[in-house]
Amino acid sequence: ATMLEVTGLTHRYGGADSDHLAVNELTFSVETGQLACIVGPSGCGKSTLLRCISGLIRPSGGEVKLHGDRVDGVPEDLAVVFQDYSRSLFPWLSVRQNVEFPLRWKKLSRTERRQRAEEALEWVGLPGVGGKYPWQLSGGMQQRVSIARALARRPALLLMDEPFASVDAQTRFELEDLLRGVQVQNHSTVLLVTHDIDESVYLGDRVLVLSKSPASIVADLTVNLPAE
């Protein structure tokens, strides 16, 4: 089944008459269970594309559909992980409270929320740190917590904007493998944006290559993983 359908997506900053075209006529779709990477140079329009998909900005033209429904506003069953983990966690909340925070809007009991948070922290290799505060953790661990918080919601689509660009290389490798493992295990659908071609090919089932600004697709590659 198709999870995400982007059709003729165009975005100009500064209104319809502006000539600041950031995204130009993008059309692609992502199947359920896929880990799709979008790769392109800095400034080509990747973040703009993700903002349009996540409903944070309304595109100037074209359409985004999430399992068949037109995205209008911020969809409930979508989670986003950003590059800047240092600003994404609430410093006054413990790790557990951070991970549980977005679950408040789901109809879950306290126990269920607690269980989901613990499970997500285990997925990202951080069991037992729930009582700590973000500032007590390294940058890589904080990004693990951000990923756990997104996964705890069990989103239909997980969007990731350069999620490993601000961590050191060793941590990046660990987080890439961890994301891959969790994604395969849970059949999650992930759309990850990066400027790093190696990363996109290492991680993706699918790699969409964008041109320089304004973003348009120049290649759509399927990466065939050997059967396990």
Q: Give least dist CB 171 to ligand ADP, A.
A: 10
199 or 205, CB closer to ligand ADP? Answer: 199
* 213 contacts ligand ADP (rule: CB under 6 A): yes
* 176 contacts ligand ADP (rule: CB under 6 A): yes
Report the number of secondary-structure helices (H) and strands (E) in the chain.
7, 10
Closest by CA to 110, choosing from 94, 121, 93, 96, is 96
Note if the bond before 134 is cis, omega within 30 degrees. no
Q: Identify any residues that bridge with 209 across adjacent strands, giving them in sequence order.
A: 39, 219
Q: Give least dist CB 99 to ligand ADP, A.
A: 24
Q: Give least dist CB 136 to ligand ADP, A.
A: 26
Q: Out of 42, 136, 138, 222, point to the residue binding ligand ADP (CB under 6 A).
A: 42
Q: What six digits make up the tokens of 16?
A: 């319809």
How crowded is the C-beta side of 221, counted as CA atoms within 13 Å?
17
Number of residues that bind ligand ADP (CB under 6 A): 18
* 202 contacts ligand ADP (rule: CB under 6 A): yes
Q: Which residue has the tokens 């973003």?
A: 215
Q: Which residues bind ligand ADP (CB under 6 A)?
A: 13, 20, 22, 40, 42-48, 173, 176-177, 198-199, 202, 213
